[in-house]
Amino acid sequence: MKNKRLMVADIEDGDIIIPDSKCFFLVKKSSVKVGKTGKKYIDLELFDGTSSVPGKVWDITEETNEAVQAGNVIQVLTGKAGKYLTNMQITVNDAVIVPPEKIDSECAGILPESFYTFEELKKQWDELMEVLVPKHRELVNKFMENEKIWQLFTTIPGGRSMHHACRRGLWEHSISVAQSALAVSEVFDEKYGLDISLVVLASMLHDVGKIFEFQINPATSMVDRYSDRGKLLGHIYMGATWLEKLVSTCFPEDSDLKMDLIHIILSHHGQYEFGSPKRPKTLEALVVSTCDNLDASCDAVRSCFDDNMEGNWTKSVYMMDRAFFRRQEGAEDQKSAEETFNN
């Protein structure tokens, strides 16, 4: 492994990690747990830019604990790869944070990126703006004028791990929901009568509260942890209150717009058990909620297509509580099953 960057796909049981291994990871998840003996350890999810692998820190030091916080890019200086039951995992003995200015040169591609470039997303966003009626377009323009909010909205992930957990993921998700909601609305409008501009507006801004829900690692633009406000209030409430102030500032007399938009924000998770304080009670809210769930679900499944599939099957997709099938050319279990069935 000397002088070669160690990737998850190359890990073998018993591999010893040394500085020359060039073992770099994005720490996706990090939590302190207590073992059976009462001793604390750190449970990790480590990502090399293509695949994830579990990690453990058994002997916690102040330096290692600081290094392996979620959202950091680290180099594992010393450790060992080994199997626990049937799964490979990395034991981290010593690790350091990779300075932001060295991430691209030392471990290019380690940070998950949106499917689209910034320029592509901006073009799609501008196309959606053209669908909006002037009043709704003015509201979005006012939102974009807040430089700090706009910079975060177009940079941060759409989630910590469930879906769109990549740089620019929040923006990509918001655009995708708006595009699919627009398509659905155009199909149903003649029959059911929908406010298409309101649907697109609400879709574009439905997750703005995530800007306040996440604590973002400034070096990587990845989610470090949930903020205190995020844990106590949640992105739905914070997004609704922030947008209510925005509407009140721009159109203080338009109580209908405020009520219609805020209802969609409050109900976009669809069901109480999914954290929604209200269920959709307008057709526009129903369309946004449905498209939000569809896009989040598809991205959660898609991310598992790229990560340690077993034959034709993904690992269990957490938010869907099941594995998904995708035919892989030459998968042995698929070929043998077909031969048995055909005979």
* Pair 86, 162 in one domain: no
Average pLDDT, the chain: 88
pLDDT of residue 241: 96
* Pair 236, 332 in one domain: no
Give the residue from 208, 146, 130 showing the smallest Cα distance to 171. 208
pLDDT of residue 323: 82
pLDDT of residue 343: 60
Q: What share of the chain is helix, strand, coil (3-state, %, to 5)?
A: 45, 20, 35
Per residue in 225-275, pLDDT (tens digit) is 889 999 999 999 999 999 999 999 999 999 999 999 999 999 999 888 888
1 lies in a domain? no
Model confidence at 103: pLDDT above 50: yes
Q: Is 185 helix (H, G, I), strand (E, B) or coil?
A: helix
H-assigned helices in 112-227: 118-129, 134-145, 147-153, 169-192, 196-205, 210-213
Which CATH number characterizes residue 38's domain?
Answer: 2.40.50.140
The predicted model scores a pTM of: 0.81
Residues in contact with 335: Cβ distance below 8 Å, sequence separation at least 6, in sequence order: none
Which of 75, 106, 137 is the endpoint of a domain? 106
* Pair 257, 328 in one domain: no
- Using 50, 70 and 90 to split pLDDT, how confident is the model at 146? very high
3 lies in a domain? no
* Pair 290, 188 in one domain: yes
Alpha-carbon radius of gyration of the chain: 23
Number of domains in the chain: 3
Model confidence at 342: pLDDT above 90: no
188 lies in a domain? yes
* Pair 144, 92 in one domain: no
Residues in contact with 106: Cβ distance below 8 Å, sequence separation at least 6, in sequence order: 22, 24, 75, 98
* Pair 220, 173 in one domain: yes
* Pair 147, 56 in one domain: no
113 lies in a domain? no
Under DSSP, the state recorded for 273 is G
Q: Distance between CA atoms of 29 and 214, rounded to whole angstroms?
A: 14
* Pair 258, 139 in one domain: yes
User: Cα(first)–Cα(last) distance of the chain, in Å?
Assistant: 46
157 lies in a domain? yes
242 lies in a domain? yes
Which CATH number characterizes residue 262's domain?
Answer: 1.10.3210
What residue numbers bound the domain in which 249 lies? 118-301
77 lies in a domain? yes
Which of 106, 137, 161 is the endpoint of a domain? 106
- Using 50, 70 and 90 to split pLDDT, how confident is the model at 335? low
Average pLDDT, integer, range 284-289: 97
Average pLDDT, integer, range 70-79: 91
- Burial degree of 166 (CB within 10 A; 0-12, 13-18, 19+): buried
* Pair 232, 328 in one domain: no
Residues in contact with 132: Cβ distance below 8 Å, sequence separation at least 6, in sequence order: 140, 197, 200, 201
Residue 82 — φ and ψ, nearest 5°? -160, 165
pLDDT of residue 269: 92
